[in-house]
């Protein structure tokens, strides 16, 4: 059966890309087509979403901890695929639990923010 790898990226306004992945357990044996469809339906057009809102690591570019002029807050879903890798979600969610969280946040609304403030705030903490 295997786990499910959620592949996503951060693409800045200059079209530079930084890839990220999280591997979720799949105890329910959720099919990939169902997984990908559910996620695409919950995300904004072009698969855009706010990573922190669904407790995923942000993949922003930063220079000395500062956002660049090309930075924005959205990450982009690429694809979910089967994986033999161990689950590495720091919240120990299954793919079904992650999808439920994504759908809940999509219903609530994706909350945009300025990454310049977020990155500066992290350095100050």
User: In total, how many domains does the chain have?
Assistant: 1
For 91-105, what is each residue's pLDDT tens digit? 999 999 999 999 999
Which residues have a Cβ under 8 Å from the Cβ of 17 and sit 6 or more positions away?
A: 9, 10, 11
Comparing CA positions, the residue from 83, 82, 72 lying closest to residue 46 is 72
Q: Is the pTM of this model over 0.85?
A: yes
Q: At residue 63, does pLDDT exceed 60?
A: no
pLDDT in tens, 15-58: 999 999 999 999 999 999 999 999 999 999 999 999 999 999 99
The overall average pLDDT reported for the chain is 89
pLDDT in tens, 19-28: 999 999 999 9
Domain that holds residue 33: 3-124
Percent of the chain with pLDDT over 90: 74
């Amino acid at each position: 059966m295997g786990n499910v790898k959620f592949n996503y990226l951060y693409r800045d306004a200059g079209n530079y890309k930084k890839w990220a992945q999280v591997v979720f357990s799949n105890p329910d044996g959720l099919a990939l087509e169902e997984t990908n469809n559910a996620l695409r339906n919950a995300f904004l057009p072009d698969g855009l979403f706010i990573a922190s809102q669904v407790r995923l690591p942000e993949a922003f570019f930063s220079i000395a901890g500062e956002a660049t002029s090309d930075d924005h807050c959205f990450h982009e879903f690429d694809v979910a695929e089967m994986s033999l890798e161990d689950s590495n979600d720091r919240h120990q969610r299954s793919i079904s639990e992650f999808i439920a969280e994504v759908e809940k946040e999509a219903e609530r609304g994706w909350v945009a923010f300025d990454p310049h403030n977020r990155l500066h705030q992290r350095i100050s903490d």
